[in-house]
Amino acid sequence: MMTEESLLANINSMKRDAALCNKKAGFGVVPFSKYQSAQKHNFPKHKFKPKETWEKMHERHRLEILDIIIAMNQAGYSQTEAARELEMSARHLNNYVIRNKINWLVKKR
């Protein structure tokens, strides 16, 4: 069972990783020309092979989200508190919980 501190540290590291990926990918940066993004990467032809397939990336991402939400449920968060920590709407989290048939332990009104 994860403690609240380790859970918050895990969430903050995921946010940091996402920000770093966005920075490396150049999101939010206006290119000088419409061809700059294509010229930025010099991948050798036919030698670049991804480590994961698209389906495996989606499945891994889905399982990571599910693990975080289940850990927050077991740590005693209400859905409202969990949504606030994950910076998402409570309605979105509630729909996710219902779709994945998660029995939420703490119900505060």
Task: List, for residues 85-105, the tens digit of each pLDDT value.
Answer: 999 999 999 999 999 999 999
Task: List, for residues 2-33, the tens digit of each pLDDT value.
Answer: 677 777 777 777 777 766 665 655 555 544 45
Task: List, for residues 32-51, the tens digit of each pLDDT value.
Answer: 455 555 555 665 666 667 78
**pLDDT, position 87:** 94
Angstrom distance (rounded) from CA 105 to CA 97: 11
Q: What percent of the chain has pLDDT over 70?
A: 68
Domain spans of the chain, in order of start: 1-14+54-109
Q: How far is CA 2 from CA 10, 41, 43, 51, 97, in A?
A: 10, 40, 41, 30, 19
Whether this model's pTM surpasses 0.85: no
**Residue for token digits 């859970």?**
7
**pLDDT, position 25:** 56
In DSSP notation, 64-89 reads: HHHHHHHHHHHTT--HHHHHHHTTS-
**pLDDT, position 17:** 73
